[in-house]
Structure formats: structure tokens, C-alpha cells
Structure 1
Amino acid sequence: MPKRKDYFDTFCKLSKTFGTAATQSTLLNLIVESAVETMDGKAACLFLRDVGNEYFIPKSQIGLSETYLHASPRESAGIVNVLEKKGYIVFENAATDERLENHKAKKNEGIASILTVPVRVSNVTQGVLSLYTATRRKFDKSEIDFLCALADQGGIAVHTNNLINRLRNNAMFFLELASSINSSLDIQEILGSLTVNICDTLGMKGVTIGLLDEDTNSIQLVASHGLSDEFFEILGVINNETASRALKGETIIVSDTEADKRIEFKKEMKKEGIKSMIVTPILARDKVIGVMRLYSADYTGFPSDVLVMIEALAHQGGLAIQNASMYLKLKEEKINLEKDIWSHRAWF
């Protein structure tokens, strides 16, 4: 077995850096460096899944050439399935293993064996950490456990960075949006601004807003952004369980639209590139007046702070709609009053 540094020393160094480092890249770089140094590897790379795609892309690496890294992207689906079952993957002979591609590239790079473990963010596998060796290796349990622990630290770094960025962006977004929608009394302008800004800031594929028609007790779509015209037409006939529950004041999370039995038009959603969604009520003075749907091109559990933000935005939209409606009503009443005054004057 190769000579290794003490695992405890490595984690002491990691712990100290995690308490002082300001950027995600600094932490991820330290993780891959620690993997190579402590486990006597040739190289290491931490990959994260590209949002909206089924590929892992390198986020931090040491010891690999640019030519090798760009030889081809790593598909995430198959790797994740194996990692979810076993917790790690060992490629003892990387140059011939049938589970791997680009054998020639690995041979030219001098890669003999590979150990791959999952990087989990909010309990979801969002990437992998791979250790590459220059000689054929069998990895014992302690080595596998150590690399898994390093990958967990990578997941914590990504999660913390995502949380900080979301909180900062959400606060600024909510302030700007509140100012924007309160500066207008045009309902269509308000809803259009709301859908566009939510997509851009929260990284959603699409957003729709439907208002309740009390005469027919159905949802009428009034605003949309990011979705094709073909899919928008399909949405016009959807009045399913998620919408019904949202009209009762409940926020519904669908983490996998293809597998969830509550979802209609699964094929159409897959074609549109929708993988998960949120359905939340739009309230005005504690009364549900509509439903907002947010569609994501990624599989996600939607963190609690994002859900709070979405519900707050729906409430803000409901308030803006109510204000605009009251303005229109007052405007109409003013016109009627003026007509009455002129009719009274005609009597004299």
C-alpha cells in the first residue's frame, strides 16, 4: 500500500481552511489537492452536474491535462445510478474497463486506476470526486471512506456557497421586484415582469401565472415566460390535482415530473425539457385568487429558502393584482360619479 499522510492531519487542514476561505473554488481546490497528496494519487478531479444537462463538468482538478478534460463530458445518469446503490465505483484497469470510454486517452494520460465517489448537495448526488493513479491499484475500505469524506466536504462547500448566493440574490431581487410591480397599476405589465424576473433570478426554465375565474371555477392563464407556444396551449387545459391543492392554499413540489403520478402530459413536459416544478397559490388578503407554476430544467428538491422566496413572491404578486384591481374599480366609479353629476346639472 502507498505511503499516506495521516487522514486526521488532512481534515485538520480542511477544517481550518473551511473556517477562513472566502470562495468555493478555494475549498474545492484544497479537496482535490488533499486527495492526491494524502492518497498518493496521480490526479484528482471534482465534477459537478451541469444545470439542465445530463453531464458532469470539471469544477476543480489537479494533475490532468486540458486535452484529457475536454476529451468528452461525463454522463451523469449511469454513474449516479451505480453510486446510489454501492456508494463508490472502482475502475482497477481504466485503460480496458468496458464501463469507461476513451481508453486511449486514459492510456496516453498515464491513468491506470480510478476511484469515484459521489458529491452530495442537500442529500442529492450532484457530482463526483475521482482519484486517478499512475499504477494499478486496489482500494481498501479506509481509502474509499476517506475519499467519500472528502467528497462530503465538497458537497458542504457547494451547498454553503449556493446558500449564500441565493440569500444575497433573493434579497436584492425581492427588493427590486417589489419596487417594480408597485410602480405600475397595469396588471398585465405586473404579471409579465413577475414571470420574467423569477425565471432570470431563480434560474427557472419557465413560469406561468393563472388567475381563478370564479364563474367557471377554473384557472385562466394570463402570463407566461420561457415556455414554447405549443406547451403553453397544453397548459390551458390542465386542471389537475396540483392545481386543485394550490387553490386550497398549499404549495406543491414535484421533484421529478416524469415519475410523479399527479402530473399530466408527461411526454410533453419531457419534450419541453421540464424535470421538476413548484405549484404555489397566489393570495390576496388570505383569499386564493390564482396559481403560479415554476418549471425547472433540473432535478431538484428546492431548498427551503427558495420555497419561502417563491411563496413571498406569489403573495407580492397577489397584493399588486389587488391594488391594480382596486384602482380600476375606483376609476370606473369615478367615471360613473362624474356622469351622475352631469346628469343632475342637466335638470337645472
Structure 2
Amino acid sequence: MKKKNDYFKTFCKVSKAFGTTLDNKELIDLIVSSAIETMDAKAACLFLADEGKDIFVPVAQKGLSKKYLHANPLKAKTIVAAIQKEGFLHFRDATTDPRLEHHEAKKAEGIATLLSVAVVVRNRTIGILSLYMAKPKDFTEEEIEFMSAMAEQGGMAIENNRLIDQVRHNAKLFLDMAASINSSLEIKEILHKLTADLAESLEMKGVAIRLLDKEHEIFKLVASHGLSESFLDKGPVSAAKCLAHALKGETQVIEDVATSKEIQYRNETLEEGIVSMLCVPIRSKDDIIGVLRLYSGVKRDFPEDTIMLVNALAHQGGLAIQNASMLMMLQEDKTSLEKEIWSHRMWF
């Protein structure tokens, strides 16, 4: 009964903190310390996914020395895959288990048993919570369920904070883009800034903007960031072959370039180190005039909020192009009118 009371008290404390703090560091530190306290553990560590590098990195730990070595990221990926499948992994003897590395370091650290559970949000593993015991231990089903519930609750709090940060970040990015359009009529400058800002903000390998040449049915490059010259000069990009979705006004997500049948220059794309792509049409009123393409060096599924942001920015890019076109037309009309007035004056 005492153990159940401990679980209940821990959940109450953690839930209250999750509802009152927006500081991610405080949240993850609380998850780690609460797991140690309730489970009478030696130490705990929370690993979160770094999508840019496709690895899980330690973001908070307690009870471990600074010199303690965690698993090699490549080796850890196989363990993470097993945890994702089973929901948890139990290493009763962490100093000899062949699935783990650095057995001597674990002995020196005083680690006997290790329990790792997945931190899952919306069916996506965003992290791993590991518990380290000083003495060999067989965990009960109830203890494993408690750890999994702690990890799940922590994951939801971390994800909520991430979404709040993302909303603020997206709003700032959109505001900066709108300000750029209002402050400059140099269309190339605006589009180059858009590609650079998107690549940096969304941690993309590269971003490119191509405008439609209706006469030749190709998309011509007008702005890019982060992509090599050899990749950009690979050849004409056919409107019909690889950007048919854009011509229909559809957003296209390509999760895996290697298996997609809609890539015109597959070998060149793979050589550039591109794994996933997001293609968004650029409109001017009701016409499709171009495409905004985001290139990722790691596999991504592009969440809905990211797709909405990129579509909104593509729309802003379309407005900038429309404004620049109207200015050019006004300038041409002005020049034509001046010539016409001058020719009439010649009669007098």
C-alpha cells in the first residue's frame, strides 16, 4: 500500500508542476529526480531525440558521474528500436549484458541493473527514460507501468512546451517575412531571405524556390540556400515529371527519396545527402507560379504545424512576386505614357 501511495504522491507532484511551469529544464529535471526518489534508484537519465542527427542525446541526468560513458549513438539506435517495439527493456545485469556497452564503466559507476522505458507522444518516440539501480533487481509489472506512465506524462508536457515554443517561433518567422515584403521591392532579395530563414529555423539541409516557365514547362531556380552548385545545376526540372502535385496546388511530402517514384533526379538527390522533402506550391491569386521545396538530411514526416507555416510563407512569397510584377507593369506604363506625351509634343 505504501508503494501505491508513493506513486500517487509522485503523480500529484509531477502533474502540478507540469501545469504550472513552462520551463523545459525544470520539467525534465523533475521527471528524473521523481523517478529516482519513488523507485529508490541510484540514478536516472532522460534522453531526447535529436531529429537533425537522428540520435537520442542525454538532456538530464542525476546520480551519475560526469565521466560516465553512455552508449555509442549508433549502438544505442538498436536498443532504442527494441524499446520502441516492447515499450521497455530490462537489463538485470548491466555489467555483462551483451546488448549494452561499457561494462567496466558500469561496474566502476556502481550500476547493477538498468531499466529503460520509451517516452511516447502521439505514437511517436521522442525520448528514453533510463533508471539505474545499485543492486540487482527484478522489476514488477506495477513498477514498469509506473515508469512508463511517468515517461508518458513527461513526454506530453515536453511536447506541449515544444508546441508553444513552435507557435511563438512560427509567428516571429511569419512576421519577419511580412516585414521583409513591406520593406523591400527587390524580389530576389526577399526570396533569398525566405530560403535562408526557413533552412535555419526548421533545420533543413537546404531550401529552394523555383518559378514556372509555362512556355518550356519547366521550373527555373530563382533562390536557394544550403544546396551545392552541382545539385542546383543538375538539369531542367520538368513541371510534368516531378512537380505535378504543385501544378495542381497540392502540398507534397516525400518521406524517403530513395523509394519515391516521383523524384526526377534520384541519384543526384541522394548524392546531395537528401532524405526527405516537402514541396509547396507558390500562388499568385488563382495561378500556380512556382514551388517552394524544403530538403531534409534526415528522414522526416513534417508535422501539420510545419506544413501550415511553409504554406503560409509560400503564400507570402507569392504576394511579394505579385507586388514586384505590378510595380514593373506600373513602371512600364509610366515609361510608355511619358514617350506618348513626348511624341505628341513633337507636333507643336
Q: More deviation in 270-279 or 328-337?
A: 270-279
- Uncovered stretches (5+) of structure 2, i.e. residues with no partner: none
Q: Is the 8 A contact 1:5 1:39 kept in 2?
A: no
What is aligned with 1:18?
18
Q: Secondary structure at the match of 2:52?
A: coil
Q: Secondary structure at the match of 1:209?
A: strand
Q: Is the 8 A contact 1:58 1:69 kept in 2?
A: no
What is aligned with 1:34?
34
Q: Is the 8 A contact 1:56 1:75 kept in 2?
A: no
Cα deviation code 1:73-110 (max 9, x no counterpart): 56553233212322211222111111111111111111
What is aligned with 2:46?
46
Count of paired positions: 347
- Uncovered stretches (5+) of structure 1, i.e. residues with no partner: none
Q: More deviation in 292-301 or 259-268?
A: 259-268
* 1:193 has 2:189 as partner: no
What is aligned with 1:278?
278
What is aligned with 2:129?
129
| Aligned structure 1 segments of 4 or more residues deviating by more than 6 angstroms | none
Structure-2 change in CA distance of 1:7 and 1:267 (3 Å): farther
Q: Distance in 1 between matches of 2:235 and 2:127?
A: 33
Q: Is the 8 A contact 1:240 1:262 kept in 2?
A: no
* Letter in structure 1 aligned against 2:100: L
Q: Is the 8 A contact 1:204 1:294 kept in 2?
A: yes
Structure-2 change in CA distance of 1:89 and 1:262 (3 Å): farther
Q: More deviation in 228-237 or 260-269?
A: 260-269
Structure-2 change in CA distance of 1:264 and 1:136 (3 Å): farther
What is aligned with 2:212?
212
* Letter in structure 1 aligned against 2:206: G
5 Å-filtered alignment, 1:149-188, equals 149-188=149-188
Q: Is the 8 A contact 2:239 2:247 kept in 1?
A: no
- Cα drift, residue 23 of structure 1: 0.6
Structure-2 change in CA distance of 1:48 and 1:275 (3 Å): farther
- Cα drift, residue 180 of structure 1: 0.9
- Cα drift, residue 299 of structure 1: 3.4
Q: Distance in 2 between matches of 1:281 and 1:18?
A: 39
Structure-2 change in CA distance of 1:149 and 1:233 (3 Å): farther
Q: Distance in 1 between matches of 2:42 and 2:91?
A: 15
What is aligned with 1:255?
255
Q: Distance in 1 between matches of 2:217 and 2:62?
A: 60
Q: More deviation in 151-160 or 233-242?
A: 233-242
* Letter in structure 2 aligned against 1:193: K
Cα deviation code 1:194-243 (max 9, x no counterpart): 11111222322211111111112221121110112222223744657662
Q: Is the 8 A contact 2:119 2:151 kept in 1?
A: yes
Q: Is the 8 A contact 2:211 2:290 kept in 1?
A: yes
Give aligned-pair identity as a percent: 52
What is aligned with 2:143?
143
Cα deviation code 1:94-128 (max 9, x no counterpart): 11111111111111111111111112244322221
- Cα drift, residue 187 of structure 1: 1.8
Q: Is the 8 A contact 1:279 1:294 kept in 2?
A: yes
Q: Is the 8 A contact 2:44 2:63 kept in 1?
A: yes
Q: Distance in 1 between matches of 2:132 and 2:241?
A: 49
- Please give the TM-score of this superposition, normalised by the length of structure 1: 0.91
Structure-2 change in CA distance of 1:266 and 1:141 (3 Å): farther
- Cα drift, residue 141 of structure 1: 1.9
What is aligned with 2:303?
303
5 Å-filtered alignment, 1:321-332, equals 321-332=321-332
Cα deviation code 1:144-198 (max 9, x no counterpart): 2221111112211221121111111111221121111222222211211111111
Q: Is the 8 A contact 1:92 1:136 kept in 2?
A: yes
* 1:8 has 2:23 as partner: no
Structure-2 change in CA distance of 1:256 and 1:331 (3 Å): same
What is aligned with 1:226?
226
Q: Distance in 2 between matches of 1:99 and 1:22?
A: 37
Q: More deviation in 218-227 or 74-83?
A: 74-83
Q: Secondary structure at the match of 1:68?
A: coil
* 1:314 has 2:314 as partner: yes
Cα deviation code 1:298-317 (max 9, x no counterpart): 43332322222111100010
- Cα drift, residue 266 of structure 1: 4.9
- Cα drift, residue 58 of structure 1: 0.9
Q: More deviation in 222-231 or 334-343?
A: 334-343
* Letter in structure 2 aligned against 1:287: D
* Letter in structure 2 aligned against 1:243: L
Q: More deviation in 67-76 or 215-224?
A: 67-76
Q: Aligned-residue CA RMSD in angstroms?
A: 2.3
Q: Secondary structure at the match of 2:220?
A: strand
- Cα drift, residue 263 of structure 1: 4.0
Q: Distance in 1 between matches of 2:4 and 2:261?
A: 50
Q: Secondary structure at the match of 1:6?
A: helix
Q: More deviation in 268-277 or 246-255?
A: 268-277
